[in-house]
Every structure is written in structure tokens, then in C-alpha cells.
Structure 1
């Protein structure tokens, strides 16, 4: 009994006794990240009222029980992360990770998408949020990797918005782009986890909370 209690505590992030998702390679894991200046600025610009607002997305790469996530992060660029570490970075809903697993309704090109995503390992994080600059942010990694049969991007890019709902520009973006010596890329085509999570091509398969 004591050993079982220990295991429950150790794995509380995914809730002892709870059915975990049967992940397949290429499933997308949408995460509501813990509060930070960056996640706050992202959700201020892309979040919606009365719904879980995602600030990050990664690509599931399950292999022999040692599940991993291929992701682009601000502290490591494009890298492979243990699923447990990915879940640990999420906000908590009743003690569980605020992460939702989604799968393409048509999985025809998913294997090729995962292979394509792996070729980006080691690329730096795209603080500029601009396309085709040799750097990638989280949803940009997905956007670059998942292609339609004709070679076009599977997920649409839309004019980016960096402003909060009240029209103000979060100070985080002002300071970041001033440091980069660049204009804020307001209106330049791009992607974000919130929009991507609501794409009709995806279906929710499980929640970790």
C-alpha cells in the first residue's frame, strides 16, 4: 500500500489511476504554459475568453514506452524533450497538467511530417517570429513540418497579432523587439498554438487534466 501511495504521488502530474492517452507519432500536444512574461504576452494576444488558452505546442514522438516531445522552446531551440518534462511545465488544473492531445483526422502524411520535423533539431528559437529565417518557434515548427499532398503547408498562416484584447502592446514585446533591433512583426503571416488547436483538421483525443 505504501509503495502504491508513493507511485501515486510521484506521478500526480498525470493522475494515478487515470487513463493516459495512447499517443501516436505526430499527435500534437497543446499546452497552457505556466505563467511567465512570454506566455502571458502570447495568451494576451491570442487567447479567447472562457476557454483554455494554449501558449505552446509540441509533436508527440512515442517510442517503446519512453514518450518524447519534439518541440521548439525559448530556452533550447528545437529539441527532443521527455513527455514527463513537457507535462511538468504546464499549468495545473486540479493538480493535473493543462495539456490536450490532438490528432489529424487524416493521418496520411503524419509519418513524413515527424521525419521532417526531426530535421530541424538543433535550430535556434525564433524570437523574431518571422518565416524563413533559419529559426523556429513552437507552432512554426509544426507549420513547417506538416504538409498537404501538393506540398503546401497543412495549417494556414494568418496575419499575426501581438496586441492584447484592449489594443495595447504588452511591454514584453516592446522590450524584446527593441533588443533585437527589429520592428514588431504585427500583421506578418504566422501561426500560434491557440489558432492551430481549433483547426477543423484536428480532433481532440485526450486530456491530461
Structure 2
């Protein structure tokens, strides 16, 4: 995501910071949860997209607890509390496609779970052999509902200097600028997703 989407996304996060205080955290199956990952590539993703949101997963609420389906190494389903604790400062953004039915949102989670055990896609490809986090979220909803959240972007349109070292390592020196990918920031900027909770604070 380039600088063009920085202002709208920053306003979105700021607008809901105040509302997040009195609003309780009430997760539902199919919610998209975002945080700032502490992984090695997180800072590069933040710089490339001008956003603190570097990781996303899908919520599943069950009688035995609340879980998050996420694409890490490998794609896995983990307790929500553990997932949240991995984020920087425990901050969290929750977004919900409210126009979709509960059944549709549950179907998206079921689609995401079909990829459990697959390796993380370090090359950000679009095949189904491996998955990265925002790819999993977008594909799950696309397969289950026909809705494509977020905007696909060319790698060359991002601030690739921030990702340069990792990309050169992964692609053998030549960065494929025409490669299209989806980022957590792009998903969060989709107006069809409603912010249900956010404890991100405005940048000062």
C-alpha cells in the first residue's frame, strides 16, 4: 500500500480509538483481527505500507473458546488470547463485514481452515501451495462469498526499499515489481469492513 492510502487508514484508526474505550471487545466468527506483529519482517511491512498493521487473521468463536486462523509458519489455528499477546503492546483492531450473514462469515472461516498446515508464503505468491496472512483472509472470503476485500497492489507500488533485503534474499536478487499482492493495510482500508474495536492510538 502506497502513501495514497495512508491518510484514510490513519483517520480510520484515529476515529475509532475514542469509541474503543467504552465499547467492549465482542468477537464474532468471521471477524478480521489485525495487530502489529513482532516478526522479523514486521517493521519492513509497516514501512512499506505506511501502516502499523502488519498481520491479520480470522476469528472463530466456538463453545470451547475463541480462536484465530492465521497464516504464519505454518497456517494454524490458535487461541485468541495467545494471538493477541503476540502483537506489539497487545494492541488490536477488529473489523467485521457486517453486510454478510453469520453463515457467510462462518463459511469464510471454514475456507480458511482448509489451508491449515500449509507453509507460509515467504515469496508472496498467489498460488494455493503456501499462504501469507492477508492472502489467506482475502481468499477465504472470496471462496466462501464471492467478495474480494482489499485492493491488490503491485509490489512496485509499495515502498519496496523497506523490504529490499528480504525480497532480494527471497527472489535471488531481482525483485518482481509487477507481482500483485494484498496487504493487511489494504484489507483494513476496505469500506465494506466495519471497525468493531480498536485500541490503536493516534500517531503524535
Shared topology, TM-score over 0.5? yes
1:1-209 → structure 2 map (5 Å cutoff): 20-34=24-38, 36-48=39-51, 53-64=52-63, 66-73=65-72, 76-92=73-89, 97-108=90-101, 109-132=104-127, 134-147=129-142, 151=146, 153-161=148-156, 164=159, 169-170=161-162, 173-181=164-172, 183-208=174-199
> Which consecutive residues of structure 1, in runs of 5 or more, have no partner in the other structure?
1-17
Show CA shifts across 1:161-186 (max 9, x none). Answer: 4854xxx723x542453355363232
Cα RMSD (Å)? 2.7
> Which consecutive residues of structure 2, in runs of 5 or more, have no partner in the other structure?
1-21
Distance of aligned partners of 1:160 and 1:105 in 2 relative to their CA distance in 1, 3 Å threshold:
farther
Contact 1:33 1:55 in 2 (8 A): yes
Give the match's secondary structure for 1:70.
strand
Higher share of residues assigned helix: 2
Structure exhibiting the larger radius of gyration computed from Cα positions: 1
User: 1:129 and 1:65 mapped to 2: Cα distance?
Assistant: 33
Report the number of matched residues: 178
Show CA shifts across 1:135-188 (max 9, x none). Answer: 110000011111288846344322234854xxx723x54245335536323232
TM-score, structure 2 as length reference:
0.76
Q: Which has the higher contact order (CA 8 A, sep 6+)?
A: 2
Residue matched to 2:8: none
User: 1:113 and 1:61 mapped to 2: Cα distance?
Assistant: 10
Contact 1:143 1:154 in 2 (8 A): yes
Contact 1:129 1:185 in 2 (8 A): no
TM-score, structure 1 as length reference:
0.74
